[in-house]
Structures are given as structure tokens and as C-alpha cells.
Amino acid sequence: MKLRPRKQFAQHWLKSDKALNQIIQAAEITKNDQVLEIGPGTGILTRRLLPLAQSVLAVEIDRDLCQLLTKQLRQVENFLLLQGDFLTLDLSACLASFPAFQKPNKVVANIPYNITGPILEKLLGRISNPAAEPYDLIVLLVQTEVAERLYAKPSSRAFGALSVRVQYLAECELICTVPASSFSPPPKVDSAIVRLRPLKSSTAALDPQYLETLVKLGFAAKRKMLRNNLHSIVDRDRLSQLLEQLEVNPQARAEDLSVAQWVALSNRLDEVTGERNDLSDP
């Protein structure tokens, strides 16, 4: 059975041995690992994961591919395939019917690029609601433009709200780039392998919901100074003062603050606005 790649599911089959080996190496798989793969496609990566890991749980949306994989990997005992949309699937509920498979501790995948943001959020959670049981390691193939934002350093071109949101929850590193010619059909963009190590306790922000809102507001208008973007919640002069206390240039833009500085600013502002609320109480 030969299947044509479907655009609607962002199907681009990886065909480069080199890239497959780089993904596998980056994932540091051992026999204790239960791996989750999102979008196994024709199973090229799956087949490499299976002999190394304790088990592989794959979620694939395309029914025809699921049929194909089920047929080809029927005999493999440590493989479980779930058909469905990874974004809406309740993994724990599905796993309850398969006692031999536990909740995965690693994620290794060449994901559909059109839903990269939502996949990251489902894997890591949000600043205000981090994943309750974070994965040990996540190795993903993503488009370079997204990869650059994930491991970007403050004040660099790619550093943005996504960088802060993801780096608050995980350590991110670039493993290597993968040219478009490594796929069939080749995507319009180049790709990169990234490795994320979710932080086990990201309790740095006193009020994570407030930090999440602050980051959103801070990055709302690009290229503007932070004190202008945040003027609806804190007076410009007061913010300049706070930034100076945090050893940040008062003229800084959102992209100039490191994650630690965002957290510190959020904690300080929370105190300041808290004071105000207290004062206004009769």
C-alpha cells in the first residue's frame, strides 16, 4: 500500500538516515523509557525507537496510516498506536485500557508543523498551568524559525513571547539543523532538531497567572519600550524605577529581559499593585 502525503495533516516523511540518527541520539533512549511519538506517519522513526525503548506509544490522526502501521507492526509487543488528534486526545484516559503501557516519560517526534504551538503547550503546559507531571525529555523536529525562538537568548532577533513562555517551563537546546531536502515531499522551510528538558519545579513566579498576562502585554506591540507597553498596569516612571532596581535599562524592550528578569519584574509588580489594592481598600 502506497500512500500519498496529505497536506491537510502536514505530512512530510523524513528520509534522511543522518537526521533520524541525530534524533535518536539526542533522545538518549534506554530500556526504561516509555516514548510518546506524535504523528508516526509511515513509521520510519517509530521503527528506530522500538528496539531501544521499553515501549512506544504513537498517536496518529490519519486513519489510512494507522491501518498501514497496525498491519506492519502487528507483531511488535511494545508498540501501542492510538488513532486520533493528539491535541484533543486524553492520553491518560486512553492508557487506562492498556495496563501494559504506562504514561510516557519521553517525547520523540517529527511533528506536524502546522500545530507546533499547540503541541508545545499540550506537552509543557502554560506559565499559569504547567504540566503536572512533566516529561523527562522532549526531542522534536520543528521548523527552524520556531526552533530559533525556542533556544533564543534575550536581546537576540528571535527572542519573543514564545521564548519566555517555553524557557520558563523547560531548558531548550538546538541539536542540529535539518535541510528541507531530508523530507519527502520537502517542506517550504528548513528544520531543526531541538531538545527540551522540562523543569521539574518552576515555582519561581509568585503569581504565574500575573506573569503570563505581563509577558503577553509586554510583547503586544513589538519594538516599543516595555514601559509603554505596560503603561496600562503600571505608571511609566514607576516601571523605570523598578527596572533600574532589577538592573535593567529603563528603556528596555520586552525582548531585552531574560526569563529570570521577567519573573523578578512580575514578582515586584505583583507586590506594588498589591500594595495599591490594599491602599484602595476602605
Judged by the rule CB under 6 A, the positions of this chain that interact with ligand SAH are 9-14, 38-42, 44-45, 59-62, 65, 85-87, 110, 112, 115
DSSP state of 15: -
**Shortest distance, position 9 Cβ to ligand SAH, whole Å:** 4
**Shortest distance, position 3 Cβ to ligand SAH, whole Å:** 10
CB-nearer residue toward ligand SAH: 4 or 157: 4
CB-nearer residue toward ligand SAH: 13 or 206: 13
**Shortest distance, position 52 Cβ to ligand SAH, whole Å:** 16
**Shortest distance, position 42 Cβ to ligand SAH, whole Å:** 6
CB-nearer residue toward ligand SAH: 65 or 137: 65
Closest CA relative to residue 61, chosen from 34, 85, 45 = 85
**Shortest distance, position 100 Cβ to ligand SAH, whole Å:** 22
Closest CA relative to residue 36, chosen from 27, 132, 13 = 27
CB-nearer residue toward ligand SAH: 61 or 211: 61
Helix, strand, or coil here: 137? strand
Helix, strand, or coil here: 147? helix
How many whole angstroms separate alpha carbon 150 and alpha carbon 147? 5
How many whole angstroms separate alpha carbon 194 and alpha carbon 198? 13
- 64: cell is 489510512
Cβ-proximal residue to ligand SAH, closest one: 39
**Shortest distance, position 39 Cβ to ligand SAH, whole Å:** 2
Residue 68 CA, distance from chain mean position:
29
CB-nearer residue toward ligand SAH: 12 or 195: 12
CB-nearer residue toward ligand SAH: 33 or 212: 33
**Shortest distance, position 188 Cβ to ligand SAH, whole Å:** 14
**Are residues 110 and 39 in contact, defined by beta-carbon separation less than 8 angstroms?**
yes
- 188: cell is 517550504
**Helix (H), strand (E) at residue 172:** strand 170-178
How many whole angstroms separate alpha carbon 219 and alpha carbon 244? 20
**Are residues 142 and 191 in contact, defined by beta-carbon separation less than 8 angstroms?**
yes
CB-nearer residue toward ligand SAH: 66 or 215: 66
